[in-house]
Amino acid sequence: MRRNGSGKRLLRLRTHHSLDELNAGEWGALAADENPFVSHAFLSGLERHGCIRAALGWRARHLTLHDGDALIGALPLYLKGNSHGEYVFDWSWAHAWQRAGRDYYPKLLCAVPYSPVCGPRLLAGDDAETAARRKILADALVQLTDELQLSSAHVNFLPEDELEAFDERWLPRFDWQFHWRNDRGWRDFADFLDALNHKRRKALRHERAQVARAGIVSEFRDGGSLSDDEWHAMHDLYLATFDQKGNTPTLTREFFRHLGRAFPSRSHVAFAYRNGRIIAGALFLSSNTALYGRYWGAREQVPGLHFELCYYQGIEYCLSAGLTRFEPGAQGEHKLSRGFLPVRTHSRHYIADVRFRDALRSVLQREATMMESYGEELLQHSPFAQREAHA
């Protein structure tokens, strides 16, 4: 690698307004992980198909690190005009900042849009210099925040091996999600049921039987096998869910179809049929080790159907495909009783104003104490016959 007269490497940082400015192969090599959410195909698909745009509060500002012409580091970065679609909530911080007569937005966010999924954020390959490059990227994010005179920068849903890249200027924060893990070598759904306590085993069987008695047939399919009409049906179900909750849908029909083409064996849909007609569906993505649940929708209200499509069909797929982890999405204590145990998630936050940063540090320390107690309380309600420790 090139070095200057003092022996230091000559590295260069750049920002990009579109991921298509970057080579997909080079980006993929940096990720060093098969997590589909940080892939070039997923992130560029959001941009190309109208899911990332200023009207929704997202503007791409991807940050890259170069050694000469070689791309050696990167992070998915966005200039955010609001806090929608992040799942690490800082609305109260924004309100406090604005009450002081200052502009909290725009801010910088390193994350995967609309996806509360843990995975690589400081993309720096996997070799002896990975840790050093991650540190450079984290420091560069602070520098960029200050140069642009922004309020803050945030890095959400970090993996544990990237946490050491963040120094004391970054505020640590954690939360809990509920993940299913096959650490016991279950061979099939019956094996999984046998590991539950009697009460929960009986309840799961009852929920699945309710769906079957309603005359509903479920099917788990790879995205590459779906027709355009079937992808459109899944997107219509997604829209219906957002409409029912009064929220704004952000993922376009074209993006759903893109998932099937870009990830033919890594995108999945669980459909529920009554008399051959689709009445509900759930969307998933997968890596070589994990399944990720994303969106669901239903045209009919059927007892147990949500649990069947979003959880039990996913568990069955993991068992048949040899996947060891299932992350069904953010929040939801009801997941605990269905075999999903609490797992810690991490974020880091740089607040440019030192006084505000110090005040928030105290707030987050108190929050962390409460979250620790909450995690311990959750495990008191483990559905397994023998309690398992959380991550």
CATH number at residue 98: 3.40.630.30
Q: Report the alpha-carbon distance of residue 240 to residue 246 in Å, rounded.
A: 10
pLDDT grade, residue 33 (50/70/90)? confident
**Across 33-37, 144-148, 170-174, least confident range:** 33-37
Q: For residue 22, is it within any domain? A: yes
Shared-domain flag, residues 80 and 107:
yes
Shared-domain flag, residues 171 and 191:
no
Compute the average pLDDT of residues 333-348: 96
Q: For residue 332, is it within any domain? A: no
Specify the pLDDT at position 9: 67
Shared-domain flag, residues 149 and 19:
yes
Compute the average pLDDT of residues 103-131: 97
- 127: phi then psi, degrees, rounded to nearest 5: -150, -165
Q: What is the DSSP letter of 9?
A: B
155's CB contacts (< 8 A; 6+ apart) are: 75, 109, 110, 111, 121, 122, 138, 141, 166, 170, 347, 348, 349
Specify the pLDDT at position 325: 97
Q: Report the alpha-carbon distance of residue 327 to residue 382 in Å, rounded.
A: 17
Residue 326 has pLDDT above 80, yes or no: yes
Compute the average pLDDT of residues 307-335: 95
Residue 304 has pLDDT above 90, yes or no: yes
Residue 365 has pLDDT above 80, yes or no: yes
Residue 112 has pLDDT above 60, yes or no: yes
Residue with tokens 């940080």: 38
In the chain the beta strands, taken as DSSP E runs, fall at 11-16, 58-60, 62-67, 70-75, 77-80, 107-110, 152-158, 170-181, 216-222, 267-274, 277-286, 290-298, 325-327, 341-351
Question: What is the enclosing helix (H) or strand (E) of 237?
Answer: helix 228-245
Q: Report the alpha-carbon distance of residue 391 to residue 383 in Å, rounded.
A: 16
CA distance from start to end of the chain: 39
Shared-domain flag, residues 21 and 170:
yes
Q: For residue 148, is it within any domain? A: yes
Specify the pLDDT at position 332: 86
pLDDT grade, residue 389 (50/70/90)? very low
Compute the average pLDDT of residues 354-358: 97
* Sign of the C-alpha dihedral computed for residues 66, 67, 70 and 74 taken in this order: negative
Domain assignment of residue 159, given as a range: 11-176+343-379
Specify the pLDDT at position 331: 81
Shared-domain flag, residues 225 and 294:
yes
Domain count, the chain: 2
Q: Report the alpha-carbon distance of residue 294 to residue 292 in Å, rounded.
A: 6
Compute the average pLDDT of residues 14-25: 97
Shared-domain flag, residues 136 and 217:
no
